[in-house]
Structure 1
Amino acid sequence: MSNSQAEQLSFSKKKIEQGYSFHYQWLDFNSEIQSMNFTLSNEGLFERFRDFKSYQKNYAQKSIFRAIKKKLRRKPIPGVQILYKKDNDHFYIEARGIDKNKVAKAYQTIAEIEQEVTEQYLSESYYQAFTDHLQNSGMKVNHGNIANNSVADLKPLKPLILDRVSIRNIRKVTNYVLGFVQSIPYSKLESRLTSSGAGFNTPLQLLWENQGDCDSKMTLTAALLRALMPRIKMALIFVDDHAFIGINIPAKAGELTINHDGINYVLGEPTGPATLPLGVLAPTSELAINQGHYTVQTYHEIIVEQ
């Protein structure tokens, strides 16, 4: 296990036609100097997640309520009267009618519509319901969805990384990406369940600002690995105040792994500043894994190469 600290030697960005050129230089696990120069488009940097913002519960409820109302007005439920009500900040719908069976069926239909529009709203907003290992529930950023939607914008990095490592060696590819992301300066993670996405940087925003919290760094790592290895099975692993990734490859002796739904994942630490190769986590993270104090979200989406 390496005890050295990830070190970013230099970082710069420069405006060019249609985007920005980035320069990164850092020390890898072997204390060797690595560097990458790449271009990111204006669309990826400034347009891709332009509508992504912190999750506001009241605004979400209003948006979902309006969508339900729109659907019900477009296709009324026969035999019942629908009333739209608000009690303080709580919105609710009441169904009235003479036939109790029709009223009951109306409530069932309303519940189905609510589930449908809620799922659509969360998907479009890049959020999802989340329950941690202590069964605390809330809304968090949909890290897998954001990673998927960042893959195309990160394609310029693919040939640069594969030039230095072999795609046939998943370990080398993963360790190169881990070293790169670990060297990027770290910013403190806000509470995952109560911050409403505050402080989270999408992958290209992280590169633009040259800093990110552990959730942001995990998402960038997942997106880069997905761009490099479209069919590899991954897992996003969340512990209290931290996050890391899992890669579905055979483990070597002594490497830290988990089994989730019958699939083994070797764990990797994207945050830094310690230069930790695949299979090694910080002591506090290793303790959380050994105690079962973690939540897993699989990331198995297959991106078709263009």
Structure 2
Amino acid sequence: MKRLLLCFIMISGCLSLSAQAEQLRFERNAGHYNYLWKDYQNNTQTLSFSLLNYPHKLTKFTQYRPEQAQQYVLSKLKPSLRKIDPKQAKVSFNTQHGQLSYQLQGNDQEFIQELSEKLGKEVQQHYQDYLTKHYFVEKQTADGAMGIMPDHNRLAQESAEYLFSWLNNSLNQLEDQAKQREVSNYLLSFVQSIPYSELRSKDRLRGAGFLTPIQVIRNNVGDCDSKTTLLASALKTLYPRLDVAIIYVPNHALLALDMAPQAGDETVRIEGKQYVLLEPTGPALFELGKVAKESAQYIHSGLYTYQQMDWVPPEFKREK
């Protein structure tokens, strides 16, 4: 019997961080946004920008449900199943316990083996098509388990061009020659100040809770992987040559940048290079290079995986 296990990787709780971030004002009017917040140095910051003309597909994220994936695969299999001669093979399916399995029966074992391999490949292809269509990927967790999670890399890429106004106006709040670290800290404090929520759905399942970068800004709320994806998209767009990676530890996500560390910075090694860590989640206001104690412990213990932002960003030009 062939089985396809469909389960979701839960980044459910995110780490408990001390409440320090303070968003003093948030205003939204017809795609225009105004903010007032305090950064990690307790300085008051202001920012206004627009978020317009983004595609509808980036304004929602559908929760992963195994039964929907199963039904999609089964519906796509129907043309192939209709071609099977019932005198040669009988096919039965089972969709219990989050698994899609099928069983073949027939007298010609060589034919059954060939058919089983063909169906297996087709099931996997339709399943991957479903994941791609709904912005999911298969991912290995720090403990080696495989599961399904939002495609943070692709969502960061497809959101990038719609963040230009935010990035442009952020740069205009800083000095003309502001260095990469200063700009990163400014954007980091902005994202941290966005109110934090675990974003669980009513049935306590994850997936609907994840928000795309566009949604985080529109809704003025986000959880750890939602806010981390937003900042990853922003920094990769501003600095195309900067290697950016999302770091996954148990129940949490944070960010890492391939830049020269300063004394006291928390870092992580990725493919032989040292990356500086960031905590975009909030509400704690950690500056670049400082992370929650739990994050550091997991990383020092090697309990992490990562996803690099492996895309070429759209060309961004600053306008004053």
Query: In 2, distance between residues paired with 1:273 and 1:159?
Result: 25
Alignment match, 1:8: 23
Query: Are 2:92 and 2:104, in contact at CA under 8 Å, matched by a contact in 1?
Result: no
Alignment match, 2:127: 118
Q: Secondary structure at the match of 2:51?
A: strand
Alignment match, 1:87: 94
**Cα separation, partners in 2 of 1:137 and 1:189, compared to 1, 3 Å:** farther
Per-residue Cα deviation, 1:141-187 (whole angstroms, up to 9, x for no partner): 22222211211221222221222256873212211110110111111
In the alignment, residue 147 of structure 1 is paired with which amino acid?
A
CA RMSD of aligned residues (A): 2.9
Give the drift of 1:51.
Answer: 6.0
Q: Secondary structure at the match of 1:156?
A: helix
Alignment match, 2:13: none
Query: Are 1:269 and 1:280, in contact at CA under 8 Å, matched by a contact in 2?
Result: yes
Give the drift of 1:289.
Answer: 1.4
Query: Are 2:195 and 2:222, in contact at CA under 8 Å, matched by a contact in 1?
Result: yes
Query: In 2, distance between residues paired with 1:271 and 1:27?
Result: 15
1:290 aligns with 2:305: no
Query: Are 2:51 and 2:163, in contact at CA under 8 Å, matched by a contact in 1?
Result: yes
Give the drift of 1:91.
Answer: 4.7
TM-score computed with the length of structure 1 as normaliser? 0.84
Query: Are 2:70 and 2:95, in contact at CA under 8 Å, matched by a contact in 1?
Result: no
**Cα separation, partners in 2 of 1:208 and 1:133, compared to 1, 3 Å:** same
Query: In 1, distance between residues paired with 2:314 and 2:25?
Result: 34
Alignment match, 2:46: 35
Query: Are 2:88 and 2:107, in contact at CA under 8 Å, matched by a contact in 1?
Result: no
In the alignment, residue 153 of structure 2 is paired with which amino acid?
G
Give the drift of 1:63.
Answer: 0.2
Query: Are 2:224 and 2:252, in contact at CA under 8 Å, matched by a contact in 1?
Result: yes
Query: In 2, distance between residues paired with 1:66 and 1:82?
Result: 19
Per-residue Cα deviation, 1:234-263 (whole angstroms, up to 9, x for no partner): 111122232100111121222111112223
Query: In 1, distance between residues paired with 2:91 and 2:114?
Result: 17
Q: Secondary structure at the match of 2:291?
A: coil
The higher-RCO structure (CA 8 Å, 6+ apart) is 2
The 5 A counterparts of 1:2-81 are 5-15=20-30, 20-41=31-52, 43-44=54-55, 47-49=56-58, 52-70=61-79, 72=80, 81=88
Per-residue Cα deviation, 1:274-300 (whole angstroms, up to 9, x for no partner): 221111101121122112222222222
Alignment match, 2:271: 261
**Cα separation, partners in 2 of 1:278 and 1:84, compared to 1, 3 Å:** same
Q: Secondary structure at the match of 1:223?
A: helix
Query: In 1, distance between residues paired with 2:195 and 2:135?
Result: 24
Gapped runs of 5+ residues in structure 1? none
Gapped runs of 5+ residues in structure 2? 1-17
Give the drift of 1:28.
Answer: 2.1
Per-residue Cα deviation, 1:117-143 (whole angstroms, up to 9, x for no partner): 222210111112233223344322222
Alignment match, 1:230: 240
Alignment match, 2:217: 207
The 5 A counterparts of 1:108-187 are 108-163=117-172, 164=174, 169-187=179-197
Give the drift of 1:115.
Answer: 2.1
Query: In 2, distance between residues paired with 1:155 and 1:83?
Result: 56
Query: Are 2:258 and 2:275, in contact at CA under 8 Å, matched by a contact in 1?
Result: yes
Query: In 2, distance between residues paired with 1:111 and 1:245?
Result: 37
Query: Are 1:140 and 1:196, in contact at CA under 8 Å, matched by a contact in 2?
Result: no
Query: In 1, distance between residues paired with 2:62 and 2:306?
Result: 24
In the alignment, residue 276 of structure 1 is paired with which amino acid?
F
